[in-house]
Amino acid sequence: MSNLYIWPEMPFLSIATLVAASMVFLYLARTPLHMALQSLDDGIAGGLNKISTWINSLVEKMREKSKKVLLESSIADSEQKIAQEFKRVEASYTKHLADYPALHLKLDENIAIIDADFKECGQAVPEAPGWNDAVTAIAGITGTASGDRVIEKMLKELHKSAIDGEKLALAEMRKTASQRHKILSGLAPIWNKILKAMAVVDTKISLVLETTSKIEKYMKEYESVRNGGADSIDMLSSKATKLFIFSTLVIVIAGFGAFINFNLIALPMSELVPAGTRVLGLQVSDVSALVIVMLEVVLGIFLMEALGITNIFPQIATMTLSKRRILLYAALLGLFFLASVEAALAILRDHIAETNAATTQALAGKTATTATAEGSQITIIGQATLGFVLPWILAMVAVPLEMLIESSQHVLNKLLILVIVLVGYLIAMIAHLISTVMKTFIHLYDAYIIIPTKIGELFISKA
């Protein structure tokens, strides 16, 4: 330090001289140094601000792309649901309304019978026989003494004839009424047939309307998604997030099931494959057990695709019905075969475990103890049942797997956007911090040369 002193014997004076010289130098270099510091500030902070601006524009593009993908995926899903409902409506019409023409024909026949019977039941009031002619004849008789007796006799005959006619007409009317009542009583079964036919038609029409009501619901959802409003985007985003969470949870649970399945068959597989061989550091038995578990998952995917529950492979969806049935039967047969193999391996595992335990005890010099036959049988049945059921459960993982694939695109994109936004905010904060440091340094620089600056201003003002 003393080497820097101008006068080593006077350090204070040397330091004062150096400070004064530096102030004069910095005062004279004030303008270029200010420009240099400002350029450095513009270069670093400005560059970081441009990066932050570019990141913000990239985020907006990613959001628009995510929104577009979400809308297109939702539109495709809605269109698929509507198409499926139309197929169901077509099947419902074919199933429920196929016999409607026969019902309609039966209704027409029964109504025609009822109409004919009602026409046959029409009433016609009978007239008294000869009544008008008798009255006309009596009106033309002149009154005489002998004529009075004749009239009296005629009136008696007429009275008798009228009574007989009324009795005959009454009997005829009763007979006709009795026939009408028989016809009307015979209409009751026909009315019951009509009511039953109408009830069947009403039931079938209700089923068809119930099926078509779902189309209206899906069409409203389709229109809402098609409009692409903020509410629709939020709803679809929330739905995708919920599907991602639940599908992830289900797949994690299925992963634990696959782990149990793997450990159930890994030990007996060591008796079926060559021992001592390793693949990528793993024993061949473990690799074989892992392959069996993965094959069960793959067959489950093809099974769900053939049933039309999932749509991971579009080529399968476009297959004809006969080819899809072949694929369905092949997947079912493959799963049944693997499930049977696992059940057999589970039984073999119990025997291997017992043999290994007995061998270990024999090597230790202990007497081998065996479990009771009943307990052994229960263990074997439980392991065999578990080995047969687990493949079918793992086959259903295709459904949450498709949900996870569809929802992960949006959710992972949101997480990526969030990370990029945080990076952009961090870069903008660093740029602001650098700009603030540069401005502070410039102010400190001006404060350091305040004495020569004021002296220079004084000289300038006097000049």
Give the other-Cβ count within 10 Å of 386's Cβ. 15
pLDDT band at residue 187 using 50, 70 and 90 as cut-offs: low
Q: Domain locations in the chain?
A: 2-88+416-462, 102-213, 230-396
Rounded to an integer, the average pLDDT of 23-41 is: 83
| Helix/strand/coil for 365 | coil
Question: 218-252: per-residue pLDDT in tens?
Answer: 666 666 666 655 666 777 777 888 888 999 999 99
Q: Compare 329 and 197 and report the one with higher pLDDT.
A: 329
Lowest-confidence segment of 112-126, 300-314, 404-418 by average pLDDT:
112-126
Output the DSSP codes for 409-433. HHHHHHHHHHHHHHHHHHHHHHHHH
H or E, element range at 335: helix 321-363
Rounded to an integer, the average pLDDT of 129-150 is: 55
How far is CA 119 from each of CA 50, 177, 180, 182, 458, rounded to the nearest angstrom? 97, 14, 10, 14, 132
CA distance 432 to 434: 5
Question: 55-68: per-residue pLDDT in tens?
Answer: 888 888 888 887 77
Residue 443 has pLDDT above 80, yes or no: yes
Give the other-Cβ count within 10 Å of 36's Cβ. 11
- pLDDT at residue 60, as a whole number: 85
pLDDT band at residue 274 using 50, 70 and 90 as cut-offs: low
- pLDDT at residue 243, as a whole number: 86
In the DSSP assignment, the letter for residue 141 is: P
- pLDDT at residue 270, as a whole number: 72
Write down the H helix ranges in 364-397: 373-395
- pLDDT at residue 252, as a whole number: 92
Question: 355-377: per-residue pLDDT in tens?
Answer: 666 666 666 665 545 444 455 67
Lowest-confidence segment of 146-160, 359-373, 428-442 by average pLDDT:
359-373
Q: Compare 311 and 103 and report the one with higher pLDDT.
A: 311
- pLDDT at residue 408, as a whole number: 84
Q: Model-level pTM greater than 0.85? A: no
pLDDT band at residue 330 using 50, 70 and 90 as cut-offs: very high
SS (H, E, C) 240-266: HHHHHHHHHHHHHHHHHHHHHHHHHHH
- pLDDT at residue 121, as a whole number: 57
**Dihedral (CA of 305, 307, 308, 310) sign:** negative
Residue 134 has pLDDT above 70, yes or no: no
Question: 37-54: per-residue pLDDT in tens?
Answer: 888 888 888 888 888 888
How far is CA 4 from each of CA 10, 15, 16, 22, 26, rounded to the nearest angstrom? 12, 9, 12, 14, 19
Share above pLDDT 90 across residues of the chain, in percent, rounded to a whole number: 7
Angle between helices 145-227 and 47-96 (to 10 degrees): 150
**Dihedral (CA of 50, 51, 57, 60) sign:** negative
